Amino acid sequence: MDATAAKFLGAGLACLGMGLAAIGVGNIFGNFLSGALRNPSAADGQFARAFIGAALAEGLGIFALVVALVLLFVA
């Protein structure tokens, strides 16, 4: 296979990781929302924690994006 083609394929495959991170972020906010609907009075206190969890899950997807960007523009 051509090296450039392999690079673009690798960048595309790295983007799969971003989709998986999206599942994780969706899980966090979905569970937060279902918990918040059950007990709305406790929701405000856990709001920051939901965002921290989302930020940590998103960070792993960001690593996949960085792999794709490095393949496209640096390597």
Binding site for another protein (CB under 8 A): 48, 51-52, 55-56, 58-59, 62-63, 65-66, 69, 73
Beta carbon nearer to another protein, 9 or 56: 56
Taking the complex as a whole, how short is the minimal distance between the CB of residue 1 and another protein, in angstroms? 26
Bin 39: left if φ > 0, else alpha if -120 < ψ < 50, else beta. Answer: beta
Cα separation, 25 vs 46, whole angstroms: 16
- Residue 29 tokens, joined: 């906010």
Taking the complex as a whole, how short is the minimal distance between the CB of residue 18 and another protein, in angstroms? 9
